[in-house]
Structure 1
């Protein structure tokens, strides 16, 4: 049996439909032709991942800021090594 692959948009649409609770899972299953277990799984992923939508507004900024700081520290280290090397070659002994 070949597994069907579903896109993220389709999964989101089905999960949101399940979240509305206006239809039962078997009704949604027959409407979208998806196994009820998958619907439950997608609904659970939507519930657990929903908070990330709001964290990313600030979270990405924090992450990129932390990455920028790390890159700057690496650059400082690299420049310090280069500076020390040049000092040794320019003023031997």
Structure 2
């Protein structure tokens, strides 16, 4: 058996999760409609609910990479300021 997994785009996952949240179709119907396993529908729905809860509770934090990038920008701005002072 080949172990190649299908990777779904974030847009596709969001589309399926929103359909699941609407509740117009069962999990089995959604899975058949999109050609995926039922557990994926349930997992994406759960992740969407957790994400929405975090957004409305104010707990949605910036990704760690964004924090690192912001620190790097601050460090570079300080270096630019130092070099400008040394040049003048």
Q: TM range, normalised to the smaller chain? A: 0.5 to 0.7
Which entry has the higher C-alpha Rg, 1 or 2? 1
- Match in the other structure for 1:52: 55
CA distance in 2: counterparts of 1:3 and 1:44, whole angstroms? 21
CA distance in 2: counterparts of 1:5 and 1:53, whole angstroms? 29
CA distance in 2: counterparts of 1:26 and 1:48, whole angstroms? 22
- C-alpha RMSD of matched pairs (Å): 3.5
Q: TM-score, normalised by structure 1?
A: 0.57
Q: How far off is 1:25 after superposition?
A: 0.3
- Match in the other structure for 2:31: 29
Structure 2 spans left out of the alignment, 5+ residues: 83-88
Q: TM-score, normalised by structure 2?
A: 0.60
Summarize deviations over 1:10-56 as a string: whole Å, max 9, x none: 00000000000111000000000111101111001101112337849
Q: How far off is 1:3 after superposition?
A: 1.1
